[in-house]
Structure 1
Amino acid sequence: MSQLQSLRGMVDLLPEALQRWQAVEAMAREHFQRSGFGEIRTPLLETTDLFGRGIGEGTDVVGKEMYSFQDRGDRSCTLRPEGTASVVRAALQHGLLSQGAQKLWYAGPMFRYERPQAGRQRQFHQIGVEWLGAERARSDVEVIALAWDLLASLGVGGLQLELNSLGTAEDRHDYRNALVAWLEQRSEALDPDSQARLSTNPLRILDSKNKDTQALLEDAPTLADALADASRERFEEVQRGLTTLGIPFRLNPRLVRGLDYYSHTAFEITSDQLGAQATVCGGGRYDGLISQLGGPQTPAIGWALGMERLLLVLEAAAQADPNGPAARLAVIPIPDAYLVNRGERAETVGLSLARSLRQQGLTVELDGSGSAFGKQFKRADRSCARWALVLGDEEVERGEVRLKPLQQQGEEVTVALSGIAAIVETLRTY
């Protein structure tokens, strides 16, 4: 019988890797709480129409990458490919917008049928924020600063903020017409994917990875030229706000983001920690999405970071600076004590002792092997615990436990098994 394997692009998260993963989530939760964002959790499975209406039928995500199927009720269902549309759907369904602006954050798996590669899997994970009802340019600055500060506190080096304005729907309509007219005259020089996008989603041609297409686009019209005065002033206000906060940025007129619902501010934060610039966070404003999904006209802005890519960046940062914050994220918690126990009565009492100490808030690793004391002590040393609690049938007969220091100088101490408070005090004091 062949060994069962996970599906391609679906990766198991093992305990050692999860140590840094969970530290990132804890750090993110702390930053979000300080900024007044509350957590929301949405289903992995949604109606396909949600993403068709929200993300856009002409996008690669909807057209090529979604995991969609008919369920037993003959409904078209899709594993969520991103988080924003689901958050907006939940806010509308539960009437959250009637309670005023909503500052929400989420974390969890997303699904896209892409070619797996380092930092990108078919089941991938995101952490993101959505500020529904935020209209002013200063809200753009605040959410960008939130992302920047989170990444900096995690120890990500070489951060670069790239910034663009997509303007209003009218601005983009005018620009789309100008860009299409310019590209149609040069369509034979475009790569095949860009030629296909010319009639479906021409703005996506701007972030084509084809070198020849990128060279051609150097002379193409820019969206900045098509911005109305109000859009241009709004974008300048965002830039002034970032400058005031001391957050450096680079204007990138080719930055369009991959989803149709963006408007005005679009941004990406990259890091050179892996050598080349790698995007670790991206987002922007999406003032039209909520009305597209059947709600009232409501401004909103948000961003998401990809956990798999971020973890690669943090691993590189930890190697570059073994004493830096990224390295500290992966530090495995050290148990307060390792309980060495052997013998029928000792194993029974040891289980009870470990439980009592854990109830007092101590981390106790209980050896359940039943092997010789020497082998257990070797495992105790590898655990890096500060103390070994030694319990054999003889100790049980005398009603005591031996406390042997492992990582520091000191004498072995014998304490009565009934004196849990004295054991706790010793383990915490020395």
Structure 2
Amino acid sequence: NLGTVYKYLKKFDEAEPYFQNAIKIGEETGDLLNLAMTYRSYSVFLQEKGDMQLLEQISREGIEIAKEVNAQYEEAVLEMSLGVALKEQGRYSEAKKWLLSSANKFVSQGADEDVLVPYLELVPLYASLGLPDSSRYYSNLYQETLRNKFEKESRETTAELETKYQTALKDSQIAEQELEINKKNLLLFGSLALALVLVVVGYLLYKQQRLKNQQLQQESKLQAALAKIETQNKLQEQRELISRDLHDNIGAQLTFIISAIENLKFYQPIQEQLTHRFDQISNFTRQTITELRDTIWAMNSGEISWQELCNRVHAYTQKAEESSGISMEFDIGQSFPLEKTMPSSQSIQILRIIQESIQNSIKHSEASEVKILLEKNKEGISLQVSDNGKGFDLEKVIAGNGLYNLRKRAEELGAVLKINSTLGSGTKIKLTEVS
């Protein structure tokens, strides 16, 4: 209780030791019910303080205690606090599970006021997950629940006034029987007083309802604006991803086609050989369209295995070798887990890094050989693309879209990208910890 008092006084540093000491005493005495209540109060304090990491820990511990003693209300509050902590840390999928569970428990307990908090938290959460319909659903559910709460309070107030009115009326009738002489005067004054009370109460109820309606409208506009901003941010991210994919994919394919055409200049004018080379270029151009479709497919797929990704890389290197005349070698380590799966968005990022690296070798390195190595070691999964070209000076080269996209994609994968190049000794690009 002292911790709660200091919390209301905004003295967080003085409040927190009381909560921690209360938990310690509860554990020592084995009073699990009071311990669950203490965890609930502490979680509310941490939520107001803004310490989300500690809030996650305390909420998880408190949930286990509440389950043990079947403290359903404490369990619901702690699940709501855990959902808030996870949401504030950007772990939206985990947060959604706890917030929905908390809301269901509050509803089953008839805690109409408490359920408003998880409903309100779910509105921006679903917007962050790119689910505007769900966000709109919980926004409407929040408003409906709030409206029902106000209507219930209004009915209770009206019933209370009706009871007072009936009591006053009965008292008036008794007084009328006892004092018949003053019957008319008492009836007149009682009616006037009652009318005045009803007018005042009605006016106050009207003002209160009007203010609540205005508040609901403002909250609805705010939630709609937040959902719109979240949607716009998601759309912008998708635009950037598609833009980079088009640059990497189409740019790489066209580079191969241009290289193949340049190589034709060195062929003798023999019809069969020219026909064969033009067929290769025609087939590779068709592959450009296929790769563009693959990009769209990958963005809409779920999970992709390393085996599928390696098949795509192998097909890509074969086409690159045929079109550029550069030897392409793709090796996979013996212990590499080809059956392991990954999100499609991650697989397309890795594929684009390989394509961009090969494209840079073809365009700039004057190499005769490109090697791709995929292996698993103690650091995790490692990807390496190297050539035997002329290399370049990293400090003097002007980074274009190619190098920028390589670093950007590695950053989005949470991986480490290293580029080593020496004039006359080729270039090596290594991506680690992509698992």
Q: Which TM-score band applies after superposition, normalised by the shorter structure?
A: under 0.3
Instruction: Select the structure with the greater relative contact order (CA < 8 A; seq sep ≥ 6).
Output: 1
Higher helix share: 2
| Higher Cα radius of gyration | 2
TM-score with structure 1 setting the length: 0.25
TM-score with structure 2 setting the length: 0.25
Higher strand share: 1
